[in-house]
Structure 1
Amino acid sequence: MNTPIKTNSAPAAIGPYSQGMICGNLIYTSGQIPVNPADGSVGATIAEQARQSLENVKAVVEAAGATLNDVVKTTVFIKDMASFAEVNEIYATYFNGPALPARSCVEVARLPKDVLIEIEAIAIKH
């Protein structure tokens, strides 16, 4: 049975999709852009946006009953690969254990709301 994830701690979906899905013991988050769910604001810098995107991923994963330690794979979409090192610095503050998730990072031409970053994750619910 597939169960949609819904939380007020992450931005609401801006289209016909769920914030995430629980499928058995797997959790799939939709791509989380850096919109602050409290006020709809978006930070100006890549560091601010990376932090908010990761906070949103964390909120969806936690709403599904897991933690960031349960994340096994992430995909990071960034507007400019020149931001890679700065994104890594922020990312490392969220994922810093001995078992780091697998990850892909790709540069994209454009993201929803013209943000600089979007992050999605897959986690295992234990």
Structure 2
Amino acid sequence: MKFAIALFSPPHAPSSRRALRFAEAAVAGGHQIVRLFFYQDGVHSASSNVVCAQDELDLPGEWREFVQAQHLDGVVCIAAALRRGVLNAEEAQRYTRSAANLNLPWELSGLGQLHEATQLADRLVCFGGP
């Protein structure tokens, strides 16, 4: 089965951990993830500046490792990211900000990528939300 996964919640929310565990289980079960799409507060899980307490799971780090290890398409909604200060080098320069906090393997893109993912996948699975 082909899955598209959308994450709407921040890294400290239980649904973010569930999303990661679901993605890991899907791949382990032989399924395909056509795209991960981080939207709303989910964009914080792609930020390289999130620092977790020593006794907490480093969810952004685990997402980054998982996406890289599985060669997944990890997309961060550009509008949601800019609104929350999650910038890649290009956007930091465009908006004259002092630093970027979105690095590879993440890609900034628009909601069209989520729409395309729903067309390519058999199922869209969403975690978190308003």
What is the TM-score of this pair, normalised by structure 1? 0.37
Bigger relative CO (Cα 8 Å, ≥ 6 apart):
2
What is the TM-score of this pair, normalised by structure 2? 0.36
More strand by share: 1
